[in-house]
Amino acid sequence: MPVLDTFLQQKLMLLESAKRRRVLHMNERADGVVVVRGGKRLISFACNDYLGLSSHPKLVGSATEALTKYGAGAGASRLITGNFPLYEELETLLAGVKACEAACVFGSGYLANIGIIPALVGAGDLIISDKLSHACMLDGARLSGASVMRFAHNNVEHLRMLLEANRKEYQNCLIMTETVFSMDGDLAPLKVLAALAKEFDAWLMTDDAHGLGIMKNNPADIQMGTLSKAVGSYGGYVCGSQTLIDYIKNSARSLIYSTALPPATIAASIAALRIIKEEPERVAKPLENARVFTSLLGLEPATSAIVPVIIKDNNKTLQAAALLEEKGFLVGAIRPPTVPENTARLRIAFSALHEQIHIEQLAEMIKQEGWA
């Protein structure tokens, strides 16, 4: 065996023995909440397509039209010739939905985070991040060259301690958090975080990948998010002041040195944002569905479309997900390093398209097995 493969085989075996090896399953997403895996139709509680928009006829129709009109690819970075007219329409809509002055669209949420953060801070600056912030925020922080500290999850006293002890040693300071935490479904205390940022002359940045329709009146200076989840399309963005956006467009390397999104993708995002503006009942539905579930199980009322059922052990979590799959339900089995050690969990994500009966059946199975 070539030396590289021998080395990698050992690494894979280690992952396997810790039940941490990941495999990619072939999925076919049918309409709405149905996923076909291995020929079997499953009701998915694993997708982030919270509003059921990815297969919506208006998105598909707009994308098809843009594909015919503009072609399959953008052909260059937005700074060269990739900035076709649909971008402006999308950014205006986004800024409106987020109640910010301006927006800038990136290739993905991941690309947005690794572009925005190094554009704003660098060596001699300080980043203080919630400990559970998404991996790509941490990657952006590392790329920036700033010093990185993490505060205990949603613990504003700990954040204050870190600010008191360290803020004055650094030039600029960026506080980072998710609005709705992707693996726990709980909410960041944004008002307190914004007040602390103000008190310590720091900037607040939020990642709203899972917060669309949940987190309103966001006070953060820098509001990042994705078009790939509730919006049902693909891409990332940042919203904020016109000055922030002008600066980001001049300095975020993942924007400047990467090709613009395909026109069809932008058209789909535009169609989705229009639906989001026009159909508040659809936007409210995932949280309502999550609350039906938590109430059936006697859990604390859900605060977002995400409800974790913590099993702790990696293997047991995999077995639980496999059992649910046998019964026709697809649920994410989330293990370290995505979540902290000994907190492996079923991550249950609710969609506007779930029916009451799906939610009741899932809750019943979880109750019977004694997982919650």
Ligand X SMILES: *Cc1c(COP(=O)(O)O)cnc(C)c1O
CA-nearest of 83, 119, 91, 64 to 258 is 83
Which stretch, 107-115, 144-152, 155-163, 299-307, contacts ligand X (CB under 6 A)? 107-115
- Counting contacts by CB under 6 A, is residue 209 touching ligand X? yes
Binding-site member from 52, 82, 109, 262 for ligand X (CB under 6 A): 109
The CA distance from 170 to 236, in Å, is 29
Indicate whether 206 belongs to the interface with ligand X (CB under 6 A): no
Assess whether 134 carries a catalytic annotation: yes
Count of Cβ atoms closer than 10 Å to residue 298 Cβ: 9
Task: Tell me if 110 contacts ligand X by CB under 6 A.
Answer: yes
Stretch that binds ligand X, among 7-15, 92-100, 121-129, 203-211 (CB under 6 A): 203-211
Closest of 66, 120, 116 to residue 268, by C-alpha: 66
Residue 352: both structure tokens together: 């506007």
Question: Would you say 270 or 366 has its CB closer to ligand X?
Answer: 270
Among 98, 134, 282, 354, binds ligand X (CB under 6 A): 134
Q: Are 91 and 104 in contact (CB under 8 A)?
A: yes
CB 205 within 8 Å of CB 175: yes
Fill in the per-residue mask, 212 to 241: x = in contact with ligand X (CB under 6 A), - = not in contact. --------------x-x-------x-----
Tokens 């936007």 — which residue?
Answer: 283
Catalytic residue among 44, 48, 129, 351: 48
**210 classed as catalytic:** yes
Contact pattern from residue 11 through residue 30 relative to ligand X, giving x for each residue in contact according to CB under 6 A and a dash for the rest: --------------------
Q: Assess 182 for contact with ligand X (CB under 6 A).
A: yes
To the nearest 10°, the Cα dihedral for 286, 291, 293, 299? 140
Query: Please, are residues 15 and 21 in contact by the beta-carbon 8 Å criterion?
Result: yes
Q: Which residue is nearest to ligand X (CB)?
A: 109
Do residues 61 and 73 make contact, with C-beta atoms less than 8 angstroms apart?
no
CB of 228 to ligand X, least distance (A): 4
- The reply on whether position 154 binds ligand X by CB under 6 A is no
178 is catalytic: yes
Nearer to ligand X, 66 or 188 (CB): 188
Range list of H helices, the chain: 3-17, 57-70, 86-97, 109-120, 135-144, 156-166, 190-199, 242-251, 253-256, 263-278, 280-296, 314-326, 356-369
Q: Mark residues 60-99: x for contact with ligand X by CB under 6 A, - for none.
A: ----------------------------------------
Of 117 and 324, which has the nearer Cβ to ligand X? 117
Closest CA to 291 of 216, 348, 339: 348
Catalytic residues: 48, 134, 178, 182, 207, 210, 229
Binding site for ligand X (CB under 6 A): 108-110, 134, 136, 178, 182, 207, 209-210, 226, 228, 236
